[in-house]
Amino acid sequence: MIEYDFIIIGTGAAGLSAALHAAEHGRVAVLSKGAADDSNSSWAQGGIACVQSEEDSIEQHVNDTLVAGAGLCKEGVVRAIVTDGPARIAELVKWGVHFDQREATDGHLEFDLTREGGHTRRRVLHSADATGRELTGKLIAAVRAHPRIEVLEHHFAIDLVTTAKLGFVSEERVVGLYVLDEKSGEVETFRSDRVILATGGCGRVYLYTTNPQIATGDGVAMAWRAGATVSNMEFIQFHPTCLYHPQKRSFLITEAMRGEGARLVDKDGNEFMQKHDPRGSLAPRDVVARAIDHEIKRTGGPCVYLDISHKPADFIIAHFPNIHRACLEVDIDITRQPIPVVPAAHYQCGGVLTDVNGATSIRGLAAVGEVGCTGLHGANRLASNSLLECLVVSKRAVDFILQKLPVGKPHTQSYDIPAWKHGDAQDLDELVVIYHNWDEIRRLMWDYVSIVRTNKRLQRAAARLRNLKREMQEFYWNFRVTSEVLELRNLVETASLIVDCAVRRQESRGLHYTLDYPATENAKPPSDTLLRRY
C-alpha cells in the first residue's frame, strides 16, 4: 500500500487549493486521470464572483444567489461561502494569480469587475476571458513547488475503499482507494484516512457540452458506489451560448460578453429575449437556455446568434481576446459578425451531498467543487459562483477534516486493504463496443434528459440505461480495466442518477423543466431530491 496523510482526486481549482492547504499539515497525493492542467476549471472563461466594490454588498450577492437558485439554495451555506470569498481572493493574489485591473477615479488601481447574468452588481473578477487558465496555471505551479505534495498524473481513481467494504460493522469511513496507473496498466492501492473528491462534473454525459473530455462524472459515481448520499442530480445547467461550429464543438462563449452588452438575436438580427424575460439577455442561465431552445424549435434553425459587433473593435478584442482569436480560426470576426450559438451541458448543480465544509455521509470523505452539492447553487447556479465555491469549500474541508481526524493521531485500528486482483481478466480488444455505448449514452441523454423533459422521455432513458448498466458490468468484470472501461462505467452510473432524480421531481424548478409538470410547486416548501444507496 502507498500511504499519505491526504489523498486529493482532481487538479481543478478545488483540488489544487485543497492540496496547498492540506500540505501545511502532512503529506499529500494529488491524483489526476490525465495531465494536471486538464480540468473543467482551466476552461473557465468568465471569472470568480466575489464582493469587492463599495457599490456591492454581501447581502446583495446572497440575494442574487438565492433568486437564481429558485428556492432550493441553503441560505446559511450561501451566506458562509459569499462571506468567506474576499479572504480566498486575497489568498489567490498571494499565490500569484493575476486579475485584470483598471485605474479608479482617484488614480489607484482596482479590480476591473464585470457583470454576468443574474447579478445585480459588477462583482466578477477575471483575467481577460481566460480566468480558469490563469488560476489553475498559478495553482499548479505552487503545488508542484511544494515539498509535501506529490502530483500523480495519469492515475485514474477506480473505487473508494470503506470500512463497510472491508467487512467492518463499526462507523462507516473511508480508508483508501484503488487507482489505475494508466502508463503501466497496473492497479495500485492507496491508503489514507482523509480523501477529498475534487473530480469536477459530468458534462460528457451529454452529446453537446462545454466541458473537456475528462468530465465523466467519476467522483459522483465513485461516491455513490461507496454508499454516499447523492442529491439534486436532475439540475444540469446548460450554458446558453456554446459556439455552433463543427470545428469547435465545445467552445464556450462566456456570459461576460452579455454582461458587456452582447445581444441574443435571431437569424434576421431581431432580439428575442425580452419576449421571455424582462431582464433580456442578462436573465439567469436556465431562462436564457430555455428561450434559445424555444427559438430554435420555433424557427427550425440550427442556432441563434450572439451579437457584440455594435461595440468598438478595440473594446471587444481587449475584453475577449481568446474568443476573438478562436472565432477568427473558423472565419468569424466577432467585431463585425454575430456569433452562432447553441445551449450545451455545462455544470451539474447537484452531486455528492455535503455540508458547507464539504463533509459527506462517509467519515473522512469530502467532496469539493462541482462534484459536491453544498446547497449553494440550489436549482440553478448563479454565474461565476462555481470557482468561488471551489476555493471556499476546499479550505473549509481541510480545516474540518483535520478537526475530526488530526494528522499524527491514531483514530482507528490499522486497516490492511487487499491488493487488487485482475483474476482471469483479459485485455479489452473490442473498443468499438465501448465507443458505441459511449455515443449512445450521450445521445439518449441529449434527446430525452436535456433542457425540456417529459415523463415518457425519462422512462425511455431509464429503460435503456438499465440495459447499458448490465452490459457495462460484464465489461468491468470480464476484462482488464482500462480508462475507457472506467469512464464508460462512470458515465452510465452518473446518467442513471440524473434520470432517477429527474423522475422523482414532479414539478418544474430551475434547471429541471418538464412539460408534464410545467408549474413550480408552491403548495409546500421546496425540497431536495435525495438518493441513498443503502
* Residue-averaged pLDDT of the chain: 92
Return the domain boundaries, the chain.
2-234+349-404, 236-346, 431-524
Average pLDDT on 328-336 reads 96
Where does the pLDDT of residue 378 fall: very low under 50, low under 70, confident under 90, or very high at 90 and above?
Answer: very high
On whether the CB atoms of residues 373 and 353 are closer than 8 A, the answer is yes
The residues near 323 (Cβ < 8 Å, ≥ 6 apart) are: 45, 129, 253, 254, 257, 334
**Of 239-253, 395-409, 424-438, which range is least confident?**
424-438
Report the DSSP pairing between strands 263-265 and 304-307. Answer: antiparallel
Interval 100-156: pLDDT, tens: 998 887 778 889 999 888 899 999 999 987 898 999 999 999 999 999 999 999 999
The cell for 118 is 443574474
Q: Distance between CA atoms of 370 and 124, rounded to whole angstroms?
A: 19
CATH of 236-346, one of 3.40.50.1370, 3.90.25.10, 3.40.50.11540, 3.90.700.10: 3.90.700.10
Interval 14-26: pLDDT, tens: 999 999 999 999 9
What's 100's DSSP letter?
-
Q: Identify the pLDDT of residue 108.
A: 86
The cell for 204 is 460528457
Average pLDDT on 266-290 reads 89
Where does the pLDDT of residue 487 fall: very low under 50, low under 70, confident under 90, or very high at 90 and above?
Answer: very high
Where does the pLDDT of residue 411 fall: very low under 50, low under 70, confident under 90, or very high at 90 and above?
Answer: low
Q: What CATH architecture is 431-524?
A: Up-down Bundle (1.20)
- Of 178 and 210, the structure prediction assigns the larger pLDDT to 178
Where does the pLDDT of residue 429 fall: very low under 50, low under 70, confident under 90, or very high at 90 and above?
Answer: low
Residue 310 has pLDDT above 60, yes or no: yes
Helix (H) or strand (E) holding 175: strand 174-181
Q: Identify the pLDDT of residue 423.
A: 66
Residue 534 has pLDDT above 70, yes or no: no
Q: Which CATH class is domain 2-234+349-404?
A: alpha beta
Interval 343-376: pLDDT, tens: 999 999 999 999 999 999 999 999 999 999 999 9
Residue 469 has pLDDT above 90, yes or no: yes
Task: Tell which residue, 2, 420, 416, 6, has the closest CA to residue 185.
Answer: 420
Tell me which of 88, 133, 263, 285 is the catalytic residue.
285
The cell for 137 is 496555471
- Dihedral sign, Cα of residue 182, residue 185, residue 191, residue 195: positive
The model's pTM is 0.91
Average pLDDT on 431-457 reads 91
Where does the pLDDT of residue 428 fall: very low under 50, low under 70, confident under 90, or very high at 90 and above?
Answer: low
On whether the CB atoms of residues 191 and 175 are closer than 8 A, the answer is yes
Cα 495 off chain centre by:
15
Q: Identify the pLDDT of residue 11.
A: 95
Interval 177-197: pLDDT, tens: 999 999 999 999 999 999 999
Whether 396 is catalytic: no
Residue 412 has pLDDT above 60, yes or no: no
